[in-house]
Amino acid sequence: VGSTMLQICRAQGVKTIAVASSQSKLDYCREELGASHTINYKETPDFAGLIKEYTNGKGVNVIQDPVLGGPNFKQNLESLAMDSRWVIYGSMGGLKPEENASLVKPLLKRSSILFSTLKSRSNDYKAKLIADMYGFCQPKFASGELRPIIDRSYALSQVGEAHSYIESNQNIGKVVLTNDLH
């Protein structure tokens, strides 16, 4: 989701800030996906100051967040601009935000926090979403403006190895399984 969003933003001329845990991921985001700025949250855990610097003190208009819980929750709260949106679509950092996280800032900034998941959506909703995304993205993939980011491919018989690789958080893009079990 993040790599596609960076590409779509680049195509639309939108400035982006990629936040990740390793320099190799950040380099890829900048060089290959068009991120305007990058932040390593492990090296700069209090990254809201950098966000303010990159946005001339305003903060960001949209946060796309697959993590939810964990140490970045408060930094995300601090990074929101006036009338911003924070879209939380995953819980890789757990389901609990940090202790003592105050929602006063997004309240005063009139920020919207949207939680979304496809797990509880109907098949009809998912089919329409796929059709809408296909209509928007397919011409861009055909022209090369967007491209799928595939890190590695494993045979289905190597699913354990593939899962271990994903758990190591080293992948940049998708890990694909191919069926070798005939």
At residue 25, the pLDDT reads 94
Give CA–CA dist 25/132, Å, rounded. 29
pLDDT class of 67 with cuts at 50, 70, 90: confident
Give CA–CA dist 114/46, Å, rounded. 23
Residues 127-139 as b/e (b if ≥16 CB within 10 A, e otherwise) read eeeeeeeeeeeee
Give CA–CA dist 112/83, Å, rounded. 7
Alpha-carbon distances, residue 120 vs 71, 115, 124, 145 (angstroms) = 27, 12, 12, 32
Give CA–CA dist 78/41, Å, rounded. 14
At residue 49, the pLDDT reads 96
- Mean pLDDT, residues 33-56 taken together: 95
Residue 92 has pLDDT above 90, yes or no: no
pLDDT class of 91 with cuts at 50, 70, 90: confident
Give CA–CA dist 75/84, Å, rounded. 15
At residue 90, the pLDDT reads 83
At residue 2, the pLDDT reads 87
Residue 105 has pLDDT above 90, yes or no: no
Residue 177: in which H helix or E strand, if any?
A: strand 174-178
3-state secondary structure of 40: strand
Give CA–CA dist 138/131, Å, rounded. 10
Two tokens, residue 157: 């018989």
Give CA–CA dist 139/43, Å, rounded. 38
Residue, of 153 and 91, whose pLDDT is higher:
153
- Mean pLDDT, residues 90-97 taken together: 76
